[in-house]
A and B are shown apart, each in its own frame.
Chain A
Amino acid sequence: MPTRVLAGLTALLIVALPFLPGVPPFWLTLLTYAGLSAIVVTGLVVLTGVAGITSFGQAMFVGISAYATALLTTQGGLSPWLSLPVALLLSAAAAWVIGAITLRLSGHYLPLGTIAWNISFFYVLGNTDALGRYDGLTGLPPISVLGHPILGGAEALLLTWGFLALSLWLTHRLLRSRTGRAIRALKGGVVAAESFGVDTARVKIVAFVYAAMLAALSGWLYAHIQRAINPTPFGINAGIEYLLMAVIGGAGSIGGGVFGAVLVTVLKDQLQNVLPLIFGAQGNFEAIVFGILLVLMLQRAPDGLWPLIVRRSVAAPPDRGPAGQPLAPRPAAAPGTVLLEAANLRKTFGGLVAVNDIGFTVAAGEVVALIGPNGAGKSTTFNLVTGVARLTAGAVRLTGRDVAGLPARRIARLGCARTFQHVKLVAGMSVIENVALGAHLRGSAGPVRGALGLDAAEEAALFAEADRQLARVGLSACRDLPAGSLALGQQRIVEIARALCLGPQLLLLDEPAAGLRHQEKQALGDLLRRLRQEGLGILLVEHDMDFVMGLADRLVVMNFGAKLCEGAPAAVRRDPAVVEAYLGSAA
């Protein structure tokens, strides 16, 4: 069933439910709780399913908001509507601080940290007099809509699911926007995302803060529907349950999150009725079932149940809408202008000298090839130039500016785009969106503009540019296919289109011909010749001599980390040292 129809039916059902005869009021309450959880889980979908980072501590952000609004409305006498922004901002600030501390570290520190912090949060709530200790706070005012107080039952259900619908809509927009593409790009590898200018650490924080704000929205609603709060629903077990909902439903899609939230909420209620009868005692027995369920899901259906219900489809790229004007092409540098200047590059790993005193230049309108046998240090040199590896000594100048020590995303800003030896596209994302990622630096819309849909003009321009570059490399026909479904040769070309979207003066290609068949290599050669004619400077690292012989203006030959010789292809071909290095005087 298409997602859109399903969403419509669900909405209809929720709206109609209170008016159906014979629906027990308890169901309405249960579905209200499911909706509250679904708002939190939607944030987890963005965090876990899309950005690939996890938090066990979302209950803490729910709690921060709930306690904040409780204090502001009971002690401060504020209307809930006025305390909402404060509650949102407080949770966002907490998430920002936590994210800033842990998100630069490898993936498991954030979830571990959130466990510790959520437990601490629980103890703080339970031991602070001003927060009512374990008894909590009571007497919260209800939320009033148009002067009418929402006091539970059908009204609370509709209010909750209304906010859920709003959250889903915002999330949907956010994920399609420029920032959303950057979040989704994390799946294609951090190095790739950085190379076209995405500040991946910042993007992760954005995702984390967004998830915390959805949790805060849920906490605010919960506090004013329940009208009394205590620490229990904000403990670590609640945090784990939110993650369980995401995993069971399927963290890869928004629908999966909602489905998981409803399923787990209903299941928990049923288990709480049944299990104490089985075990003959009261207790938190549903944890056993949830724990086993969690492990089983990860083993048997790591994508969750949702994809088994809805036909799995790649998120469709934005509708074409009004065709935008492509971005104004950046002026090409005058032919012969030196774009890249590498001098005395040196890189050592421990005692091993991987790159030893390498120097070369690349000018506008020329193709320079860095060649040599496997293990000669070509890739390391390439990484030094692109800011992926740090120089031990030497200097790299891009259009006259010293870029040694700059991260890859800053180098991208200087008009330098690259491709990868092992293709790094986001496999599940459409070709056109992958290409549009390359234009990241040429847009400026942030998450707020994206979520609110105020970025239409810019988006149209970025996609027009992506379409133009895709046409330039001759792959327009593949526009809407998932990138992972293309043949390797086509994926390499898509990477070039993505690089061109940056509007570069200098193009760096890492073994573009590797794994290509003979004819594909010829097509690639033709494309690179055209780009050279248009004034681009191109540096390519290549192992295949035949490929570069007919293409490059100059060759730089490396062996054992050092430069063997440099010159025009014909001269290099006759150089005895090169012949020896390639054919091996060995055996």
Chain B
Amino acid sequence: MDATILLLLLQDGVVNGAIYALIALSLVLVFTVTRVILIPQGEFVAYGALTLASLEAGTLPGTVPLLLGLGALAFLADCAETRPTMSGRVLLRLALRDLALPIVVAAIAWFLAPMKPGLVVEILLTLAIVTPMGGFLHAVAFRPLAHASVLVLLIASVGVHLALTGLGLVFFGAEGSRTPPLSEASFPAGPLLVSGQSLWMIGLTLAIIVALWLFFSRTLLGKALIATAVNRLGARLMGIAPSLAGRLSFSVAAFIGALSGVLIAPLTTVYYDTGFLIGLKGFVAAIIGGLASYPAAAAAAILVGIIESVASFEASAFKEVIVFMAIIPVLLWRSLRSAPIEDEE
């Protein structure tokens, strides 16, 4: 391996790492706010990529009926949840959010899809289709388990992952898809050729990080999310409902997942089950950050990206193995400096 190849691998690693960083950030967000280890995060990535691909092809994406179905289920779950405080106004709000919104999005998609409205509109449509699924999933699968242990939530999370992967197969079939790059441009930088696509990826990742930072430091809603993560009971006593915090963090996760899918779709062929492996690499990064620290998770994600790109050059068949084994030293290190015996929860 000479210096040029190394540089190339580094560039590749950083670009992939940017995606893992986005995923790791949303995993940390969801875990700290809801204690859910969001295994299905990878499915949002796959849904994002495949939805965009079918819009590109001028067909109505399979995620649209899924969105309608999830919305209807969420409506039922929300009605059950708010029964003690039910009123006409509440019902209207729930109907708008869970039924009307998906229907409007579906109608737009149905109308626009055959017209192939161009990449920008298609991306926006993709985000509009996938993002609400986060909140719906929270309402349907996780809110009824709000009092369960982290372990039970994790098992439920794996269940949701199974179901979503299977549904991905139903709606998108077993064939993979790839979309055209966001930009065909490329810029020479020393021995390297930096593609417009990778600049987009890094740029959007940074933009999301800045946007998240502004949201958490400047808005009361963002602070309410942090407050829930810091002290759940304290937050409830201020009137911050865990269901609100949960829905919000799941929506953010779905949005970030869909966007990640849009960004990787031009780089690699995405299948209905590709998301799982991508999501797990985000996990490796989040675990290195202790599932708690945003900067550590983001930095670790870049590292994971670089390990992966070097591994795929040196031993491509074993690249997943090498990436996953990277968590062993981290776990070992955490284990050795872990606190003395304490009861959990």
| A interface, CB within 8 angstroms of B | 52-54, 56, 101-102, 104-109, 111-113, 115-117, 119-120, 123-124, 127, 189-191, 194, 200-201, 237, 240, 243-244, 247, 279, 281, 283-295, 298-299, 302, 388, 390, 407-408
In angstroms, Cα B321 to Cα A472, docked, is: 59
Q: Which residues of B contact A105 (CB under 8 A)?
A: 331, 334-335, 338
Given contacts A120-B324, A287-B162, A295-B159, contact A190 B343 (CB under 8 A): yes
Given contacts A112-B287, A294-B156, A295-B163, contact A200 B341 (CB under 8 A): yes
In angstroms, Cα B163 to Cα A244, docked, is: 13
Q: Which residues of A contact B123 (CB under 8 A)?
A: none
- Min CB distance B326 to A, Å, is 9
List the one stretch of B89-97, B166-174, B189-197, B216-224 in contact with chain A: B166-174
Selected from A109, A237, A407, the residue in CB contact (under 8 A) with B331 is: A109
In angstroms, Cα B343 to Cα A135, docked, is: 46
Q: In chain B, residues 123-179, which have Cβ atoms closer than 8 Å to a Cβ of chain A?
A: 141, 144-145, 148-152, 154-156, 158-167, 169-170, 173-174
Quick check: B344 and A102 within 8 Å, CB to CB?
A: no
Please give me the residue from chain B that is nearest to A297 by CB atom: B159
Q: Which residues of B contact A302 (CB under 8 A)?
A: 148, 152
Quick check: B341 and A191 within 8 Å, CB to CB?
A: yes
Interface residue SS majority, chain B: helix
Indicate if B283 sits at the interface (CB-CB under 8 A). yes
19 further A-B pairs in the complex, CB-CB below 8 A; given A291-B160, A299-B145: A52-B151, A104-B338, A106-B150, A108-B150, A109-B331, A112-B287, A113-B327, A123-B317, A123-B318, A189-B343, A191-B342, A247-B155, A284-B169, A285-B166, A288-B166, A291-B162, A291-B164, A294-B162, A408-B341
In angstroms, Cα B327 to Cα A120, docked, is: 12
Given contacts A105-B338, A112-B287, contact A123 B321 (CB under 8 A): yes
Indicate if B201 sits at the interface (CB-CB under 8 A). no
Quick check: B317 and A292 within 8 Å, CB to CB?
A: no
Q: Which 5 A-B pairs have the closest CB atoms?
A: A291-B163, A294-B159, A291-B162, A288-B166, A287-B166
Per-residue interface assignment for chain B, residues 307 to 345, with 1 indicating a CB less than 8 Å from any chain A CB and 0 otherwise? 000000000011011001101100110110010111110
Q: Which residues of B contact A284 (CB under 8 A)?
A: 165-166, 169
In angstroms, Cα B166 to Cα A105, docked, is: 32
Q: Which residues of A contact B341 (CB under 8 A)?
A: 190-191, 194, 200-201, 388, 407-408
Quick check: A127 and B159 within 8 Å, CB to CB?
A: no
Quick check: B162 and A290 within 8 Å, CB to CB?
A: yes
Q: Which residues of A contact B300 (CB under 8 A)?
A: none
Please give me the residue from chain A that is nearest to B157 by CB atom: A295
Quick check: A54 and B155 within 8 Å, CB to CB?
A: yes
Query: Please, could you name 19 A-B residue pairs with CB atoms under 8 Å apart, sorted by A?
Result: A53-B151, A54-B154, A105-B338, A113-B331, A115-B39, A117-B324, A190-B341, A240-B162, A283-B169, A284-B169, A286-B166, A287-B162, A289-B166, A291-B161, A293-B159, A294-B155, A295-B159, A298-B155, A299-B156
Indicate if B37 sits at the interface (CB-CB under 8 A). yes
In angstroms, Cα B280 to Cα A190, docked, is: 30
Q: Which residues of A contact B151 (CB under 8 A)?
A: 52-54, 107-108, 111
Please give me the residue from chain B that is nearest to A100 by CB atom: B335
Q: Which residues of B contact A54 (CB under 8 A)?
A: 151, 154-155
In angstroms, Cα B291 to Cα A200, docked, is: 24
Q: Which residues of B contact A109 (CB under 8 A)?
A: 287, 331, 334
Q: Which residues of A contact B164 (CB under 8 A)?
A: 291
Q: Which residues of A contact B284 (CB under 8 A)?
A: 116
Q: Which residues of A contact B318 (CB under 8 A)?
A: 123-124, 127
Q: Which residues of A contact B338 (CB under 8 A)?
A: 104-105
Please give me the residue from chain A that is nearest to B163 by CB atom: A291
In angstroms, Cα B164 to Cα A293, docked, is: 13
Q: Which residues of A contact B287 (CB under 8 A)?
A: 109, 112
Q: Which residues of B contact A108 (CB under 8 A)?
A: 37, 150-151, 154, 291
Q: Which residues of B contact A123 (CB under 8 A)?
A: 317-318, 320-321
- Min CB distance A198 to B, Å, is 10
Please give me the residue from chain B that is nearest to A300 by CB atom: B144
Selected from A101, A120, A201, the residue in CB contact (under 8 A) with B332 is: A101
- Min CB distance A48 to B, Å, is 8
In angstroms, Cα B37 to Cα A116, docked, is: 14
Give how many B residues have a beta carbon under 8 Å from the other chain's beta carbons: 51
Please give me the residue from chain A that is nearest to B144 by CB atom: A299
Selected from B144, B283, B335, the residue in CB contact (under 8 A) with A102 is: B335
- Min CB distance B74 to A, Å, is 14
> Which of B159, B334, B342 counts the most A-chain CB atoms under 10 A from its CB?
B159
Please give me the residue from chain A that is nearest to B158 by CB atom: A240
Please give me the residue from chain A that is nearest to B170 by CB atom: A279
Q: Which residues of B contact A288 (CB under 8 A)?
A: 162-163, 166-167, 170
Q: In chain B, residues 107-125, which have Cβ atoms closer than 8 Å to a Cβ of chain A?
A: none
In angstroms, Cα B160 to Cα A464, docked, is: 50
In angstroms, Cα B334 to Cα A354, docked, is: 27
Q: Which residues of A contact B145 (CB under 8 A)?
A: 298-299
In angstroms, Cα B342 to Cα A194, docked, is: 10
Q: Which residues of B contact A115 (CB under 8 A)?
A: 39, 280
Q: Which residues of A contact B291 (CB under 8 A)?
A: 108
Q: Which residues of A contact B161 (CB under 8 A)?
A: 291
In angstroms, Cα B155 to Cα A52, docked, is: 13
- Min CB distance A484 to B, Å, is 17
Quick check: A116 and B327 within 8 Å, CB to CB?
A: yes
- Min CB distance B216 to A, Å, is 24
Q: Which residues of A contact B335 (CB under 8 A)?
A: 101-102, 104-105
Given contacts A127-B317, A283-B169, A284-B169, contact A107 B344 (CB under 8 A): yes
Please give me the residue from chain A that is nearest to B332 by CB atom: A101
Selected from A102, A190, A279, A290, the residue in CB contact (under 8 A) with B159 is: A290
> Which of A52, A119, A240, A298 counts the most B-chain CB atoms under 10 A from its CB?
A298
Q: Which residues of A contact B144 (CB under 8 A)?
A: 299
Quick check: B37 and A243 within 8 Å, CB to CB?
A: no
Quick check: A298 and B331 within 8 Å, CB to CB?
A: no
Q: Which residues of B contact A112 (CB under 8 A)?
A: 37, 154, 283, 287
- Min CB distance B202 to A, Å, is 27
Quick check: A243 and B331 within 8 Å, CB to CB?
A: no
> Which of A111, A112, A289 counts the most B-chain CB atoms under 10 A from its CB?
A112
Please give me the residue from chain B that is nearest to A118 by CB atom: B324
Q: Which residues of A contact B156 (CB under 8 A)?
A: 294-295, 298-299
In angstroms, Cα B152 to Cα A54, docked, is: 9
Selected from A56, A113, A116, A281, the residue in CB contact (under 8 A) with B158 is: A56
Q: Which residues of A contact B324 (CB under 8 A)?
A: 116-117, 119-120
Quick check: B327 and A287 within 8 Å, CB to CB?
A: no
Selected from B150, B169, B325, the residue in CB contact (under 8 A) with A107 is: B150
In angstroms, Cα B192 to Cα A475, docked, is: 80
Q: Which residues of A contact B150 (CB under 8 A)?
A: 106-108
In angstroms, Cα B284 to Cα A120, docked, is: 13
- Min CB distance B231 to A, Å, is 17
Q: In chain B, residues 230-275, which have Cβ atoms closer than 8 Å to a Cβ of chain A?
A: none
Q: In chain B, residues 29-53, which have Cβ atoms closer than 8 Å to a Cβ of chain A?
A: 37, 39
In angstroms, Cα B291 to Cα A431, docked, is: 39
Quick check: B343 and A191 within 8 Å, CB to CB?
A: yes
Selected from B148, B166, B342, the residue in CB contact (under 8 A) with A190 is: B342
Please give me the residue from chain B that is nearest to A409 by CB atom: B341
In angstroms, Cα B164 to Cα A526, docked, is: 63
In angstroms, Cα B99 to Cα A98, docked, is: 47
Selected from B166, B280, B343, B344, the residue in CB contact (under 8 A) with A291 is: B166
In angstroms, Cα B163 to Cα A124, docked, is: 26
In angstroms, Cα B280 to Cα A240, docked, is: 15
Q: Which residues of B contact A287 (CB under 8 A)?
A: 162-163, 165-166
> Which of A112, A286, A295 counts the most B-chain CB atoms under 10 A from its CB?
A295
Given contacts A127-B318, A194-B341, contact A111 B154 (CB under 8 A): yes
In angstroms, Cα B145 to Cα A283, docked, is: 30
- Min CB distance B245 to A, Å, is 20
Per-residue interface assignment for chain B, residues 292 to 314, with 1 indicating a CB less than 8 Å from any chain A CB and 0 otherwise? 00000000000000000000000
Given contacts A108-B151, A291-B160, contact A101 B331 (CB under 8 A): yes
